[in-house]
Structure 1
Amino acid sequence: MQRPVCQAHPGQPAVASCSQCFVALCAVCRQFDGMQALCPACMRKQRRAPLVRALVGLFVLGGLGGAGYWAYRTYQPRYDYGAATNAVHKLETELQKEPCDRPKTLELLETILDAGDSRGVLARSATFTAACGEYVQTRRITYRAHQRLGETDAAVADLTELVSSDPYQVHYRAWRGVVYQEKGDLDRAAEDFRQALMLHPKLSDIPINLATVYEKQGKPCEAAFPLQQLVFHYPRAAWTSGIRTRIADLLQKGGCSVVGEGRASLRMEPGQLQIRAKVRLDDKETASFVVDTGASYVTLPRALAEKLGIDLAGAPKVALQTANGRKDGLFILIGSIAVDKLAAKRVPAVVVDDLGAGVEGLLGLSFLSRFELRQADGVVEIAAPTH
């Protein structure tokens, strides 16, 4: 029987075999780890094993440490809703049964927002949208959560979705204007405040916001108008005196004060249903305007605006709610408007495509509110202010 030979040295007889890989070993190749014979390759592995185990251990410990640190940094304890805890728990339990119940979802969002949990509002709204689809009314609440967190861009995005869903909802415009104002985007803030007043002329807070924005933009004449409209609608309010003082300062600063003296008496002619006035525009065109204290702005048709040479190309678009329905218009400034011997400079106005047969324009509050106005028995008297 032939004796086995060394795998590495075929000319040498084998004297042992590796206890791990079982290859034949000669006296030269045979090595000991203290207990067993090993080949050179297995001996190297044996020597590296403690280092490998140490590295694996360090890796595992590092992973556990990293996971622990991440858990520490991301852990957020359940929000303490205080007195609202039971209401929140009840609504959450009901929504587990009917997760797409819209009224209960809005109630839950309002409840946790009132409790101060703005992040909770955003998380629950996102969960609802993922499970049940987009419901734009949730944005009436999430925009406030974003606003409280100082996330003005996200608040504007929510409000823009609301405006798109209902362009004639005055509150959406007003809310977005406030966020734009907070953000420092004065042009967009002015646009939204102006639009809100067109839709609801009797708003009591937005005129002050709009005047503040215009004043920051260096437009004192424009700033005076919303305040004049405010005083017109609320002449007996406790704060009227202070508003009048501010109006006078703005008009003087802008050089846009009312000019002329005396008064213009406008009477309803026999057979007419409206009071009309002969209006001189920019000392260029004269037209018969209907006196309309329900119109926030002087309003004229496109044809008359073109006669006056007004550039409409870059005029901001506005949405109007009129007695004849909803219309689109363009916002402009008219250099001067005069009725009899009374005149006002830099008067905000709106241009529409058409006002209907027999109506050349509307003499609205952007002119009338600069004067003292009296109406009685089919007569309107316009007088230069005495205060």
Structure 2
Amino acid sequence: MPSAVVNRNPMAGHIAVLLREPCDWNATYEFAGALQQAGYQREAAKVFQAYSAKCRPSDVALYRAADILYGLSDFPAAIKVTDDLLAMSPDLPQFHYLRAQILQGTKRYKEAIDAYDSTIGLAEDINSINSEVFRQLSASYAALGDYCEAITPIQTWMGLDPAANDTQRTRKILKDYSAKGKCELSHATGSDRFPTQGQNVITAKVMINGVPGIFIVDTGASFVSLSKKFAERAKLPLSGNYSIRMQTANGIAMAQRSSISKVQIGRISAEGVAAVVMAAGEDAGDGIDGLLGRSFLSRFDVSFGEKEWRIESKKQ
């Protein structure tokens, strides 16, 4: 009997399908994967880009292309693809994370910081964010020589799970940044309790850099966020660059990143707290100066009862 003919080219079948159906997504995906496996990374990226350009706009295809180009260290090409990717799907945190990594690779650290902050701000749950987001955000600040600002992301990450994240290595990083920036380390101190009066929305009088304001206590907010007017009163550093995308109760909003020297509520205080300043018209409500979010609250143990809520520094 004649021997069976074996097709030893794993890409031939995908090519045959694409010759008949050029916009078959499954064949495109598998063909690009076969190209990658064979070592043709750049060609695989071009296949994904071509699909999105010629067949149908696809953020999945563009994400794969950008990721491949990033792996090749072709940062200019990867940034160009992420421009198209974020124009198509601007509100997915993983897309901002990839762009942040690419920007960091090009040493465009300020833009990388904005992208990392958007990654955090768009996440539904700050606890689900990969630790590398906080580490690389911190590293970007350090690369700019902003060592005191570099402390804040690490402290925020530590506060999410002190048992796992408060390690000797982490403390050494903070100590090194503190020494280089000549800034004091004060993570979180004190304990206190406040009445809830049976309200679903809890407000509190908060001192921001010594300036009093009324804030909603919001465990769902990633950052402490402030209205522009209050931020100006509290003399927060403002760049005017509203390039951070934030998930809010009213949808996606734009903000600019900042940092608070000291946040104090009753006998509780923390220093070097990450904050965002919302664009005009994005206030939390009448008489409300901002939201007391997780960049502050995660440093403490917080519990809510029917009549009162309690907050105390986590046991280190």
Displacement of 1:89: 1.9
Match of 1:215 in 2: 142
Report whether the alignment pairs 1:347 with 2:277.
Answer: no
After superposing the two structures, state which structure 1 stretch, 139-148 or 242-251, moved more: 242-251
Give the Cα–Cα distance (whole angstroms) in 2 for the partners of residues 344 and 219 of structure 1. 19
Aligned match of 1:359:
288
Equivalent in the alignment of 1:26: none
Aligned partners of 1:267 and 1:276 also within 8 Å: no
Structure 2 equivalent of residue 322 of structure 1: 248
Distance 1:214 1:85 in 2: 51
Which amino acid counterpart does residue 243 of structure 1 have in structure 2? T
Query: Contact between 1:110 and 1:141, CA under 8 Å: does it hold in 2?
Result: no
For structure 2, which runs of at least 5 residues remain unmatched after alignment?
1-6
Residue in structure 2 matching 1:90, options 10, 13, 32: 13
Report matched runs for 1:1-387 at 5 Å: 86-125=9-48, 128=51, 132=55, 135-200=58-123, 201=126, 202-204=128-130, 205-237=132-164, 240-251=167-178, 253-254=180-181, 255-258=183-186, 263-283=190-210, 285-310=211-236, 312=238, 314-352=240-278, 353-357=282-286, 359-369=288-298, 371-375=299-303, 377=305, 378-383=308-313, 387=316
Q: Which has the higher contact order (CA 8 A, sep 6+)?
A: 2
State the identity %: 26
Structure 2 residue identity aligned to 1:363: L
> What amino acid maps onto 1:158 in structure 2?
V
SS in 2 for 1:237: helix
1:256 and 1:346 in contact (8 A); partners too: no
Partner secondary structure for residue 91 of structure 1 = helix
Unpaired runs of 5+ in structure 1? Answer: 1-83
Distance 2:158 2:78 in 1: 32
Q: Secondary structure of 2:288's match?
A: coil
- Secondary structure of the residue aligned to 2:11 is helix
Cα separation, 2, equivalents of 1:301 and 1:267: 24
Q: Please state how far the C-alpha of 1:358 moved relative to its aligned partner.
A: 5.0
* Structure 1 residues 143-185: Cα deviation after superposition (integer angstroms, max 9, x where no partner): 2332333321001111121111111111111111111112222
> Is 332-341 or 168-177 further displaced after alignment?
332-341
CA pair 324-220 structure 1, distance change in 2 beyond 3 A: same
Residues 89-114 of structure 1 deviation map (CA, whole Å, 9 limit, x = unaligned): 22111111101223421332133224
> Secondary structure of the equivalent of 2:61?
helix
Aligned residue-pair number: 300
Write the distance in 2 (CA, Å) between the matches of 1:374 and 1:133. Answer: 48
After superposition, give the CA deviation of every residue in 1:316-340 in whole Å (9 maximum; x if it has no partner): 4211112332222222223332223
Rounded to whole Å, the distance in 1 between the matches of 2:106 and 2:121 is 23
User: Structure 2 vs 1, CA of residues 354 and 239 (structure 1 numbering), >3 Å: closer, same or farther?
Assistant: closer
Relative to the length of structure 2, the TM-score reads 0.81
Q: Do the aligned partners of 1:234 and 1:240 also contact (CA within 8 Å) in 2?
A: no
Q: TM-score, normalised by structure 1?
A: 0.68
- Deviation sequence 1:18-55 (CA, Å, 0-9, x none): xxxxxxxxxxxxxxxxxxxxxxxxxxxxxxxxxxxxxx
2: CA distance, partners of 1:311 / 1:239: 29
Q: Is the 8 A contact 2:155 2:187 kept in 1?
A: no
Alpha-carbon spacing, 1:266–1:300, altered in 2? closer, same or farther (3 Å): farther
